[in-house]
Structure 1
C-alpha cells in the first residue's frame, strides 16, 4: 500500500491552479514593456546546476532550468516538472509523477532519466561538486558511499520507472525531503548536450535548459540576457518576456544606475535604507531573508595557531559590537547574530546563548580577559588577516571590526579580492578569517547546521567535532529534530568556529511597476515567470 500525495496534501504542497506562472489580478493593465533588469554583485562562477554554489548563480539557474518543485509566493511548494508523488508506507520511497508536457528548450521532452543522470552526476566524485554532499543530506540511498568513491553511481537510490515516473529511495524518513527539491543542484540536465560540448555546454547557443527562459547572452562579469522560452510547459502564463542581469561590483554605482532607470531591482547600500524609504516609500523594501553573515575561522592545519585556542575565538566574537553594525552601518532591518541559523527559519528554537544577554561593555571586558589568558594584548598583539570579497558594505563592516578589536591588541589586516579568488582561497584553507554568508537551501534549520559537519562540502574552516556530527546525524531520524538543532547551535556557541555578525533582511529598491516578487517568503526565492510589469 502506498500513500498517494497530491499537490495539496500533507500541508507541504500548496494547491495551485493549472497555470502557476504569473498570477495577474483581473483588471490589471499590463505594460507594453515586459522586461526585467536586476543587479548582481559578482560574476556568476558557473551556470551548471550541479556545479554552482552561489546564491546569485541560483537566481539565474531557476530561470534557465526547473526541478521537480518550485516555491510559491509565501514559500509553499508548487508543481514544477512533478505534479505530485506517491509515498511508501515506511516513507522512504517517493514516486514522482512528471508532467508529459515538460520540454527542453530544443523541444525534446523532459524525462525521468534526465533527473537520474543529473543526480548521479551530482554524487559522482568525478564531477567534484561542492554540493555532492547534498545528496547525502537528502538521505538518498547509497549517496554517502558514492560520494566517498566506495560505490558506483549506478547504485544511487534514484531510477526512471518510465519516461514520466521517477522513483527515489531515501535511507530514513525525512519530513522535509520535498522541500529540498527546490534546490538547483537537483535540477535535470541533458546527458547528450554535456557529452557534445563538455565544459562549454553552458555557453549561449549550447545550453539546453527546461526553464521558463533560454540563455541568449553571457558576458562574464558584465551581463546575462535571457529570453522567454516558447517551449516551457507554462509559457502561456509567463508574462515577462526578457530578463537581464547586470554585474556591478560597486553597490553605490548600482544604486545610481537604478535611480537613472537602468535597473528594476538593486540592493540598498549599507546605511541608506532610512533615507531611501522616506524619499521612495513605494520602492524601498526590507523583509526577513534567510541568510546569515559571519566571519569563518580557519581551524585547519593551514590556519594560524592562535585560532586553535577557543579563548581567542570567543574573544574575537565577543568584541564585535553587532548593534553598531546593524543600527549604524547597515540600517536596513537586519538583526544582530549570536548564532548561525537565521532567526526566522521555520520551527527553529534558539538556544540560550549567554553572551547574547550581556552588555557590549561586558562582552568587551570578557574578550580582554580571554585574550590575556591566551597570551595576547596591546603589548603582545595578535596579528590576523581578514579576507573579504569586493563590496563597499563588506569593507565598512571589516573596518568597524578592525576598530572593535584594536583596543584588545588585535592587529587586523584587511585583504580585499574578487569573489572567485575569495571562494577559491576559502576552499583551499588559504585564509585566517574569511567573510562569508550562508543562505538557506530550504526553510529548515538543518540547511544551516549541516554546514559545520565534518562531511559537509562547505565546511571550509574545517571545524571537526564528533558530538556535533552525532547530533546532526541523530536529527535525521528524530521524530522532532528541533531540540537537537538547539543543542547543535549551543556547540557552535561554545566552540566558536565562526564569528556570527548579523542575520539578513532583504533590503532592496524595486520599481513600483514590477509585481510578483515573493516578499512574504523568507527564502526570497524568485522566478522570472512569476513577474509582470503593470502600466504606469
Structure 2
C-alpha cells in the first residue's frame, strides 16, 4: 500500500468515525441510544496464530480474520447463511458446479475491486503444498475437484476446480455433491487474498503497515502477546451500516485477572473463570451468561510410532476414559452449563443426534469397576503402574480439568499422570509433531454439520494429531460425503470411536461469558459463535 493510499484511508477513517453512529442504525432496535464511544474491547487467552486467512488455525485468530476479511457467504445472528462478497449462487443439476455472483461494489482497503480472481488465488494458495497451510486439508474436505492431487503435489494448484468466469463470477467444481458446501464458504480458509500484496511483502504482508483486507475492519495495531486493534474500513461495501468503530483484543492469560479488569470496566467481554458461574450469575444477572456452543473438549492419545506402547492397547484407552467422572468436571470444576461428553460430536450440531453409548448408560461406580478390570487385563496395577505425561495449553481452567482427571486416575486406577502446561504456539507445535503422550484437544465446528468433528479422526486429517488410523472409519466418512442420508453412517462412526477410544471426550462447550450490558446484538443464537463486530453496537449507559 502506497503512502498516498494510507493518507487517503486515514482521512476517510477519521471522517467515518464522526459519522458512524448517525449513519449506521439498521440493526439497532428502535428507542436504543448509541454510546458516543463505539469501541468493543474483549479478552483472549493467547496470542492468535495468524491473521492470514489461509494460515490462521485458532478461534481467536479466526475472530479477527472475520472482521478483516469477508468471504463469499456470511452468517446471521442465528447461524443462517447470508450474502457476503457473493450476492448469491446457482448450482447445476447434479450439484457439482456452484456459480457465485460477486457484488460489484466490494473493494479492498486500498480501493481496488474484489474480483473472482482473488478467490481463485486464495483457494489455490490454501491447497498449494508450498504454503503448508494448517487448513490445507479443508480444501479437500470441501470436495473441490483435484484437491487431493494438488495437496499431494501431483497436480499444480492451477488445476484446482475453481475458476473466474469473469471478474464478478466465481465457479467451483466439486468431485462429488456435498450438501453442506455453501456453509463451508463462511470459513476463513476460503476468504479472498490480495495476491499483489502477498507477493510484495511475503510473510510480512499481514503486518499493520502492509496488510490489505476486504472486510469491515482494517488492522491498525498488533503488539504480540499484548493486543491487536482493528478499526473501521471505509472501503467496505456496507460501511454505512457498521457501528462499532474500533475493536481491541487484549491477551490476558489469567482469567481471574481478566475478570477483575472486566469488573473495573476495562473489558466488554471476558470468559467466566472455571467454577465461578453460579456465583457470578447471581451477582451479575444478565451479564454472566451461558449458552450452547458447537465445540468439544477432549484428550487425544498419541497413537503414532512415537507414542507410548501402553496406549496401543485399546483396553488402556478405554480404562482411562471410563475412570473420568465427567459430572465432577462439568458440575464442580467448571460449573458453567457444559454438558458431559460421551460422544465426539456435540448435541448442538444440526441434523444429527449423537447416539447413546454404553459408557453413558453406566453409573460412575460401574465405569470405575470396568476400568480397573480392563487396566489389570492390560497388565497394569500396583506392581506395574501406568505412567504418562498429559499436556495442555496454559489456562487455569485447563489446569483444573487436568488436575481433576489425574486425581481420578490416581484414586481409581493407581495411574501416575504428570502434568505439563505449554504456551499456545509451543503447544500447537508439540501436539502437531506428535511430541506428546496424552494431549488436550478441543474443536469448534467449522460449519454446522457432524462431519466437522468426525473428520478430525480421519487418518488423512491435518488435525488428527494422535495419528489414529482406522480404515473402516475412513471409508464410512468417505461414503457420507456422497450420501444423501448420513445419520446412520455418522452413528456407525461414533460407535467406532466409542469402541476404539482414540480420544477421551470430556465435555461439550458452553459460551460462558461476562458480557457488558452495553453490548448490543451478541449472537447467542449462533452455536458456531461466528460473530462479526460490524453487527454489534454499544448502548449509552
TM-score, structure 2 normalization? 0.95
What SS does structure 2 have at the residue aligned with 1:469? helix
Residue equivalent to 2:415: 410
> Secondary structure at the residue paired with 1:182?
coil
Superposed, 1:362-511 pairs within 5 Å as 362-407=366-411, 408-511=413-516
Alignment partners' CA distance in 1, 2:325 and 2:212: 48
Matched, 1:48 2:36: no
Aligned counterparts, 1:88-107, within 5 A: 88-107=92-111
Name the structure 1 match of 2:539.
534
Do the aligned residues in 1 keep the contact of 2:346 with 2:354 (CA within 8 Å)? no
Question: Matched residues in 2 for 1:189 and 1:77: separation?
Answer: 21
In the TM superposition, residue 516 of structure 1 has moved relative to its aligned partner by: 1.3
Instruction: Report if aligned partners of 1:20, 1:234 keep a CA contact under 8 Å in 2.
Output: no
Query: For the Cα contact (< 8 Å) 1:105–1:231, is it kept in 2?
Result: yes
Q: 1:21 to 1:440 in 2, by over 3 A?
A: farther
Identify the match of residue 169 of structure 1 among 173, 184, 192: 173
- How many angstroms does 1:225 deviate by? 0.6
Q: Distance in 1 between matches of 2:231 and 2:53?
A: 19
| Per-residue deviation, 1:22 | 6.0
Structure 2 SS opposite 1:485: helix
CA offset digits 1:318-354 (Å, max 9, x no partner): 0000000000010000000011111110011222310
Question: How do 1:123-138 residues align onto structure 2 when only pairs under 5 Å count?
Answer: 123-138=127-142
Select between 508-517 and 19-28 the one with higher mean Cα deviation. 19-28
Paired residues for 1:333-352 under 5 Å: 333-352=337-356
Indicate whether 1:332 and 2:371 are aligned.
no
Q: Contact between 2:389 and 2:437, CA under 8 Å: does it hold in 1?
A: yes
1: CA distance, partners of 2:25 / 2:130: 36
Distance 1:350 1:21 in 2: 41
CA contact (8 A) 1:334 1:502 kept: yes
1:70 matched to 2:74? The reply is: yes
Structure-to-structure mapping, 1:186-265, within 5 angstroms: 186-265=190-269
Q: CA offset at residue 431 of structure 1?
A: 0.3
Residue 3 of structure 2: aligned partner: none
What is the CA-CA distance between 1:455 and the residue it aligns to?
1.1
Q: Distance in 2 between matches of 1:462 and 1:195?
A: 35
Shift of 1:21: 9.2
> What residue in structure 1 maps to residue 307 of structure 2?
303
How much does 1:247 deviate?
0.3
Question: Counterpart of 1:287?
Answer: 291
* CA deviation vs aligned residue, 1:172-193 (integer Å, no higher than 9, x gap): 1111110000000000011100
Match of 1:121 in 2: 125
**2:34 alignment partner in structure 1:** 30
Name the structure 1 match of 2:13. none
SS in 1 for 2:170: strand
In structure 2, the partner of 1:16 is none
Deviation sequence 1:343-394 (CA, Å, 0-9, x none): 1100112223101110101101110100000011122110110011100000
Match of 2:364 in 1: 360
- Distance change (3 Å), C-alpha of 1:119 and 1:22: farther
For 2:296 and 2:25, how far apart are their aligned partners in 1? 30
Q: Structure 1 residues 20, 366: CA separation in 2 closer, same or farther (over 3 Å shift)? A: farther
Give the whole-Å Cα distance in 2 for the aligned partners of 1:35 and 1:117.
34
User: Residues 402 and 412 of structure 1 are in contact (CA less than 8 Å); yes or no, is this contact kept in structure 2?
Assistant: yes
1:86 corresponds in structure 2 to 90
Residue 490 to residue 21, structure 1, CA distance change in 2 (3 Å): farther
**Given the two structures, how large is their TM-score scaled by the length of structure 1?**
0.96
Equivalent residue number for residue 8 of structure 1: none
The Cα shift of 1:20 comes to 11
Contact 1:291 1:342 in 2 (8 A): yes
Any unmatched runs of 5+ in structure 1?
1-18
Residues in 1 aligned to 2:201 and 2:26: alpha-carbon distance in whole angstroms: 34
Aligned CA-pair RMSD? 1.1
CA deviations on 1:215-263 (whole Å, 9 max, x unpaired) are 0000011000111010000000000000000000111111111111110
* Deviation per residue, 1:411-443 (Å, 9 max, x gap): 000011101111100110000000110000010
Shift of 1:62: 0.2
Counterpart contact for 1:22–1:532, Cα < 8 Å: no
2:431 counterpart SS class: helix
